[in-house]
Structure 1
Amino acid sequence: MERFKSSVLLHMYSKVKNNESFTKEYIVDKFNVSERTVTRYIKDLNNYFQEEYIDNKIIYNRKSGLYELKYKDTKILNEKDILSICKVLLESKGFSKEEIEKVINKLLCDCVSEDKKIVENIIANELFNYVPTNHGKPLIDKLWDLSIAINNQDIIEIEYFKLSKNGKLESEATKRNIKPLSIMFSEYYFYLAAFIEGTEYKFPTIYRVDRIESFESTNRNFSIDYSNRFKDGEFRKLIQFMHTGNLQKIRFKFTGNSLEAVLDRLPNAKVLEENQGEYIIETEMFGTGIKMWLLSQGSFVEVLEPIEFREEIKSTIEKMKNNYI
């Protein structure tokens, strides 16, 4: 009897979840139950929604004579949420074509049938023309396994392909024992922040996940005091393009159109002075990454301090100029 009741309840819930209404007579005929039983089962479903704090309710629409779902659930992704997530995933280019299709199809399964078609139509062209990063490697399983190692504070041995001086990956992987701390995403790539075992650095080394050929546990663990734990949110404020270098305070003049874009790009930046569209901004960053960003701003930026960094920027601009002579 309980199994039979479960079948009826699941069928009714499946109907309304997929935005399909039904009549009381339909359930009576399909399962050979009384109208009173159908009424009781609808009440059971509504009680379930209430107990689980799901703001949904099966209601009777007197105009159409159908039972339908009054859909207000704030705990389940709706079509607007799913569309937004799909857009971000497609723009990130972080996954292979096969993985992005699987993830988006799973997200679409949470849409009711009518809304699913709308979302599919909106993203169809982007998904068809999706171009992943050149490495083309599946990453979802690797990201999960690395996350487990981070959670368990496992010391792992990795085989990692570094970039050689000619800009290509080295032919042989380097083996290292590392203490994995956090996975981060930036500009199309996933990165692993980790301390190298046996070294003493204030900040971790950054590894691109797709360049980690393999890894395995050493069956040893590491521990970090709670007060000294790695704070990836704070670390993100100090780094651009996942390039490290010397940590330094940098002061520069900005004369571009969007101060907001600068402050969004540099979360710990402060505006020290403002004068008719000229802004003096100070930030603390690792040198290599912030140098790349500052150069990308062209004539809208002038580095003021530190003097050594200003001279480095000037030297780089001079070399760039010579490329066009």
Structure 2
Amino acid sequence: MERFKSEVLLYIYNRLFEGKIVRKNDVEDKFNISERTFYRYIEDIKKFLEKPDGELVGEEIIADRAKGGYILKGKHERNLNEKEVLAISKVLLESRGFVKMELKDMLDKLLENCISEDKDNIKRIIGNELVNYVSPQHSKKLLDKLWQISNAIKEQKILSIGYFKMGTDGKLQEEVSQRNVYPLGLLFSEYYFYLIAYIEGKSYEYPTIYRVDRIKDLIITDKKYKVDYSKRFQDGEFRKLIQFMQTGELERVKFRFTGRSIEAVLDRLPNAKVIKEKQGEYIVEAKLFGKGIKMWLLSQGDSVEVIGSDKLREEIVESIEKMKNLYI
């Protein structure tokens, strides 16, 4: 009898611990016990959790009428539910930042730790996307490298890296460039992860950007670097200034926008401001790195007209003329 009781208690406890719903009728039918016995077992587990040395101190078993059973309250508040897991899975799939094997492992673990009675439904929703998922062309696993870089940033340790540069023919050069860098941050943009870093011994005003998948022979050295707190790198602020991970000179840009969604423009350019609006025409100002914003402006076709600076306007006109000549 004691062995049977332990089996039922463990079953109920494990379901609660995993964040699942314990329904009275399900337990009664599975173990052929009475309603009275079920409630007594629930009380036994409640008493165990209330003990100071209980494994889940602070957790509380509650009857959730909406879910039709008992849940471990703290577990449901802290663990991801099916809606959250679905949203995260969709973002990961759309980002195409990881090779298929790494992505599948992450999605499997997300589902394993999900609070849901119907995990198979989530698998069906994302299953077709995963089957047809196309890994990035570099085909490299990145999780370990991203973790190493993150630790180096946290500990302010100098990184020794080999880096494959892009050649003029659009292909990676075979020769590896060796350098020591001060790692400042990690960013993700348009399918790739980037290391933001200063090169040791160089005095550039702005940091250099390295695609993580092109880094070879990553070594965290024992040497440390110092950064004044007032000049520390702020990932969020840097991201506002950059487009397509292209730097160049920091410029103030003004343009007229007549496209369909000014909201999309302001989402794309987080530090942009609408300074004038009239009948679907918007005058927008922003402070951005020149190379990246030029690429974005050209991508908007006749929805955008650059008003300032004069230098940027001339560069845009020159680029449009070259594009025109390709079709003549």
TM over 0.5: yes
Name the residue aligned to 2:236.
Answer: 233
In the TM superposition, residue 74 of structure 1 has moved relative to its aligned partner by 2.3
**Secondary structure of 2:110's partner?**
helix
**Which runs of 5 or more structure 1 residues have no equivalent in the other structure?**
none
Alpha carbons of 1:219 and 1:278: their partners in 2 closer, same or farther (altered >3 Å)?
A: same
- Is 1:252 the counterpart of 2:255? The answer is yes
Name the residue aligned to 1:13.
Answer: 13
In the TM superposition, residue 69 of structure 1 has moved relative to its aligned partner by 2.2
Query: Matches of 2:222 and 2:135 in 1, distance apart?
Result: 35
Aligned-pair RMSD on alpha carbons?
Answer: 2.8
Name the residue aligned to 1:82.
Answer: 85
Query: Matches of 1:113 and 1:79 in 2, distance apart?
Result: 6
Name the residue aligned to 2:46.
Answer: 42
- Is 1:57 the counterpart of 2:54? The answer is no
Query: Matches of 2:7 and 2:228 in 1, distance apart?
Result: 52
- Contact 1:271–1:280 at 8 Å: present in 2 too? yes
Alpha carbons of 1:60 and 1:260: their partners in 2 closer, same or farther (altered >3 Å)?
A: closer
- Contact 1:255–1:300 at 8 Å: present in 2 too? yes
Name the residue aligned to 2:142.
Answer: 139
Deviates more, 1:111-120 or 1:122-131: 111-120
Alpha carbons of 1:6 and 1:77: their partners in 2 closer, same or farther (altered >3 Å)?
A: farther
**Secondary structure of 2:241's partner?**
coil
In the TM superposition, residue 321 of structure 1 has moved relative to its aligned partner by 0.7
In the TM superposition, residue 199 of structure 1 has moved relative to its aligned partner by 1.2
Alpha carbons of 1:113 and 1:228: their partners in 2 closer, same or farther (altered >3 Å)?
A: closer
Aligned counterpart for 1:299 among listed residues 294, 297, 302: 302
Name the aligned partner's letter for residue 298 of structure 2. L
Aligned counterpart for 2:278 among listed residues 262, 275, 280: 275
In the TM superposition, residue 308 of structure 1 has moved relative to its aligned partner by 1.1
In the TM superposition, residue 153 of structure 1 has moved relative to its aligned partner by 0.5
In the TM superposition, residue 200 of structure 1 has moved relative to its aligned partner by 1.5
Name the residue aligned to 1:93.
Answer: 96
- Is 1:194 the counterpart of 2:197? The answer is yes
Q: Deviations over 1:89-110 (max 9, x none)?
A: 0000000000000000000002
Query: Matches of 1:224 and 1:299 in 2, distance apart?
Result: 44
Query: Matches of 1:60 and 1:187 in 2, distance apart?
Result: 43
Q: Deviations over 1:136-188 (max 9, x none)?
A: 11001110011111111110110000101111101111001000011110011
Name the aligned partner's letter for residue 304 of structure 1. I
Query: Matches of 1:34 and 1:273 in 2, distance apart?
Result: 68
Deviates more, 1:10-19 or 1:254-263: 10-19
Matches within 5 A, 1:300-315: 300-315=303-318
Name the aligned partner's letter for residue 215 of structure 2. I
**Secondary structure of 2:314's partner?**
helix
Query: Matches of 1:136 and 1:7 in 2, distance apart?
Result: 47
Alpha carbons of 1:50 and 1:172: their partners in 2 closer, same or farther (altered >3 Å)?
A: closer
**Secondary structure of 1:171's partner?**
strand
Name the aligned partner's letter for residue 187 of structure 1. E
Query: Matches of 2:56 and 2:155 in 1, distance apart?
Result: 37
- Contact 2:99–2:135 at 8 Å: present in 1 too? yes
- Is 1:106 the counterpart of 2:115? The answer is no
Sequence identity (%): 51
- Contact 1:19–1:112 at 8 Å: present in 2 too? no
**Secondary structure of 2:173's partner?**
coil
- Contact 2:21–2:70 at 8 Å: present in 1 too? yes
In the TM superposition, residue 194 of structure 1 has moved relative to its aligned partner by 0.4
Query: Matches of 1:173 and 1:51 in 2, distance apart?
Result: 54
Alpha carbons of 1:248 and 1:69: their partners in 2 closer, same or farther (altered >3 Å)?
A: same
Aligned counterpart for 1:121 among listed residues 124, 127, 142: 124
**Secondary structure of 1:237's partner?**
helix
Query: Matches of 1:10 and 1:202 in 2, distance apart?
Result: 62
TM-score by length of 2: 0.86
**Secondary structure of 2:253's partner?**
strand
Query: Matches of 1:43 and 1:8 in 2, distance apart?
Result: 16
- Contact 1:28–1:38 at 8 Å: present in 2 too? no
